[in-house]
Amino acid sequence: MLTKGPASKVTIFINEDTQHHMTALHDSIMTFLMHKGVSGATATRAYSGFGSHQLLHTPKIEVLAQHLPIRIEFVETREKVDEVLPALYEMVSDGLIEVQDTTVVKLARKPAKPELKIPHERQQGPAKLLRVFLGEADKWHEAPLYDAIVKKLFMMDIAGATVYRGILGYGAKGHRHKATFFHPTRDLPIMVSVIDTAEKILAAAEVIEGMLEDGLIVISDAEIVRLVRSSGPTEAANATGLPS
């Protein structure tokens, strides 16, 4: 167990897309360290970087954003580090492992709180599902149209909306939309998905229709099952949702 005093700090540098047994290497390392009883570890994703391959990884180009560097760091006793280091050495086939002597000055742990199992309320009933198909490049008053639609739905007190970005698609005009190396942010397909009561969905569809110049609106019947965590009397009185 890690205590105040001499210790070792291990830092591992790898690429985000490096695999280990069909799993991301950084996930495998974190799982391994947890199972071996390491006191704690942190994995951080860097904004940019380069290594021995002399290739700059940057989020500015989507195809290179998948290769951003990952830094995993943990502090443990020297005995524990000696125990886990051989396996880490084998797992990291492309990267860097650094071990430094360090000193733990303070080790504070909050007492674990007993887990409170809060019962949830189950709501079920009919609803309407609204899906809006448009292009990523579509605008509304110089702003992205999908962003303007979500803000409008929020102002209309719609229960929730989700925006999906496609990787490939075509519409009524037959134009193919696809991200490429030279055009990483081309006009990719966007879908906005909304679910609420029939009354609210019909009102939202009417507003969105006035904002669309080229797109598709689909409304479907839906059956919702919603689980809501129980709250205090005051919060429960103010809670709103779909009718049960």
Is there a contact between 130 and 194 (Cβ–Cβ < 8 Å)?
Answer: yes
Q: What's the pLDDT at 29?
A: 96
Domains of the chain, CATH where assigned: 5-104 (3.30.70.120), 120-238 (3.30.70.120)
Of 239, 236, 229, which is closest to residue 159 (Cα–Cα)? 239
Q: What's the pLDDT at 167?
A: 79
Q: What's the pLDDT at 59?
A: 56
Q: What's the pLDDT at 36?
A: 94
- Where the chain has pLDDT below 50, the residues are 63-65, 174, 180-184, 233-241, 243-244
Largest interatomic CA distance in the chain: 69
- Model pTM greater than 0.85? no
96-138 tens-digit pLDDT? 999 999 999 988 777 777 777 777 777 788 999 999 999 998 9
